[in-house]
Amino acid sequence: MIWSLARVLFFVAAVAALAFGLGLLIETGEGVRIAVAGWEFTLGPVVAAALLVALVVVVWLGLRLAGLAVATLRFLAGDETAVSRYFDRTRARRGQAALTEALLALAAGDGRQAAERAAQAGRLIDQPVLTTLISAQAARMTGDRARATEAYRKLLAHDPARFVAIRGLMQIKLDEGETETALQLAQKAFALRPGHQPTQEALLSLQTRAHDWTGARATLRAQAGSGALPRDVWKRRDAVLALQEAREILDPDAPIEAREAAIAANRASPDLIPAAVMAADALIAAGSPKKGARILEKAWSVRPHPDLAAAYARLAPDESPAQRLRRFGALWAANASHDETRLTEAELQIAAEDFPAARRALGDLPTRHPTARTLTLMAAIERGEGGSEAAVRGWLARALAAPRGPQWTCAACHTPHPAWTAVCDSCGGFDTLDWTEAAGGALPAGEEMLPLIVGTPAPRPTEQPRAD
Ligand SMILES: [Zn+2]
């Protein structure tokens, strides 16, 4: 308080002195005459003005020194923080000034200046998010990608700035033309803020460029969900993308490698299975069953499905069960432990009448994931191995009550369909069927399966010696 008053008084005195000096200068016209202790100086106006400036500097320095002296005195008197506070306050002020200049330079498009000021501010004040962000943007502005990457990486550690940092890194990767990494970063940014429109757009464009139609459709759905896209526009674009993903697999002019790549890129697509089946059937009809097999094997490696197995069987309709088992080995190879692989193998082993092998193929499926299909297969195995009628009926009773397992279900109205169709029978939705497991819901047409297993009791030689 006293210090502030003293400063104000000092300043008033300094201004008064300045006014007095100016008055002298104007009065004398050609110079200033100063008489001190019998000596007399005559100064020209220029020299007088220079002296005046020097006086001002001396006054300012005196003020600073006085401030420091007061802080030191207080420090000596026991106030430890006075000195450090004095310096801290000065530092903070200079830091804020540098930060302001950095922001202004950034806004003015002067990347170099912004980088320098941000670095200076970073040394003076503790505002890492702000200074690092300005450094990163300034570096990007000047084209220094390495420095910008480094700054954005640093930003990743600060939680509120994570999204901005990921987006920044994505932009850099886009500038560098590394679309694959950019796509991964865009997906991360999208996961953090699914409703952020520029991110949605960047992700969508990267996904279409990578021919990831499934991903693009998911992004499109998010765009529609966040209100960024009118519903009819979304429907139209979604239909185009849906056709796109199927078209690449179906395209008869595309080389087989491109079609395999399309299958891999659309691994999550519900249309993958029907598209692969259609493509394989077309190739079989065109007389290239080997290419058809490759399509189905690739599709099985990304998403095993009974429709694929059925199409694979159509490749050689007249072979014996043993031949079929051997041939299917190539289909299963890429996904040997998948549930669908085990179920298909069990079915083929039953057809080949090797029931212990069928039981081995199923493994722990009847206990781990008892669906109607698994339990019906167990009934068939039981029957084939010559189990009692009661045991067979036991498995079938369980099958009737068990969940149906995955089936083609409409994502819009949840109606299950016996086979894939482009348009839902129930609600008319286009391309809404997905291969999913409906919650609950016992086998609707369970009784239809009973005569298949119980109604055709093929007398087996192993059954004859049984004496019960
Ligand atoms: Zn429907």
Q: Does pLDDT of 337 surpass 60?
A: yes
Mark the residues whose beta carbon lies below 5 A from ion ligand 1. Answer: 410, 412-413, 424, 426-427, 429
Coil/strand/helix, residue 32:
strand
pLDDT at position 258: 76
* Residues whose CB is less than 8 angstroms from the CB of residue 66 and which lie 6 or more positions away in sequence, other chains included: none
Coil/strand/helix, residue 421:
coil
The residues with which 406 forms a beta bridge, in sequence order, are 437
Q: Where are the alpha helices (DSSP H) in 254-406?
A: 256-265, 272-285, 289-302, 306-314, 321-332, 339-351, 355-362, 365-368, 372-384, 389-401
From ligand 1's centre to the CA of 239, what distance in Å?
A: 16
CA distances for 379 relative to 343, 369, 385, angstroms: 13, 15, 10
Coil/strand/helix, residue 412:
coil
From ligand 1's centre to the CA of 17, what distance in Å?
A: 92
Q: Residue 18 falls within a domain, yes or no?
A: yes
Q: How many structural domains comprise the chain?
A: 2
Do the beta carbons of residue 77 and residue 43 sit within 8 Å? Answer: no
The most confident of 270-274, 384-388, 439-443, by mean pLDDT = 384-388
Q: What percent of the chain has pLDDT over 70?
A: 85
**Count of alpha carbons within 13 angstroms of residue 121, beta-carbon side:** 25
Single out the residue in 314, 336, 358 at which a domain terminates. 336
pLDDT category at 457 given cuts 50, 70, 90 is: very low
* Residues whose CB is less than 8 angstroms from the CB of residue 436 and which lie 6 or more positions away in sequence, other chains included: 406, 407, 409, 411
Retrieve residue 369's tokens. 């994931």
From ligand 1's centre to the CA of 423, what distance in Å?
A: 8
Range of the domain at 261: 231-336
Distance CA 375, CA 398 (A): 7
Q: Residue 300 falls within a domain, yes or no?
A: yes
pLDDT at position 443: 46
From ligand 1's centre to the CA of 227, what distance in Å?
A: 23
Distance CA 28, CA 38 (A): 20
Averaged pLDDT for residues 357-374: 93
Q: Does pLDDT of 442 surpass 50?
A: no
pLDDT at position 238: 77
* Residues whose CB is less than 8 angstroms from the CB of residue 179 and which lie 6 or more positions away in sequence, other chains included: 173, 206, 209, 210
pLDDT at position 170: 93
Coil/strand/helix, residue 44:
coil
From ligand 1's centre to the CA of 436, what distance in Å?
A: 14
> Mean pLDDT lowest for which of 62-66, 213-217, 364-368, 392-396?
213-217
Q: Residue 403 falls within a domain, yes or no?
A: no
pLDDT at position 32: 64
Distance CA 333, CA 344 (A): 13
> Residues 154-191: pLDDT tens digits?
999 888 889 999 999 999 998 888 889 999 999 999 99
Do the beta carbons of residue 182 and residue 149 sit within 8 Å? Answer: no
Q: Residue 196 falls within a domain, yes or no?
A: no
Q: Residue 131 falls within a domain, yes or no?
A: no
Q: Residue 16 falls within a domain, yes or no?
A: yes
> Residues 366-415: pLDDT tens digits?
999 999 999 999 999 999 999 899 999 999 999 999 998 899 998 888 88
pLDDT at position 466: 41
Distance CA 279, CA 253 (A): 12
From ligand 1's centre to the CA of 251, what distance in Å?
A: 28
Distance CA 145, CA 137 (A): 10
Element (H, E) at 408: strand 406-410
pLDDT category at 273 given cuts 50, 70, 90 is: confident
From ligand 1's centre to the CA of 245, what distance in Å?
A: 21
Dihedral through CA 422, CA 423, CA 426, CA 428, nearest 10?
160
From ligand 1's centre to the CA of 229, what distance in Å?
A: 22
Averaged pLDDT for residues 325-340: 92
Q: Does pLDDT of 271 surpass 50?
A: yes
Helix axis angle, 81-108 to 128-141, nearest 10°: 30
Q: Residue 42 falls within a domain, yes or no?
A: yes
From ligand 1's centre to the CA of 241, what distance in Å?
A: 19
Distance CA 217, CA 37 (A): 95
From ligand 1's centre to the CA of 430, what distance in Å?
A: 8
From ligand 1's centre to the CA of 262, what distance in Å?
A: 27
Distance CA 182, CA 177 (A): 8
> Residues 229-259: pLDDT tens digits?
777 777 767 777 776 767 777 777 777 777 7
Q: Residue 400 falls within a domain, yes or no?
A: no
From ligand 1's centre to the CA of 417, what distance in Å?
A: 9
Higher pLDDT among residues 254 and 195, named by residue: 195
Single out the residue in 69, 92, 126 at which a domain terminates. 69
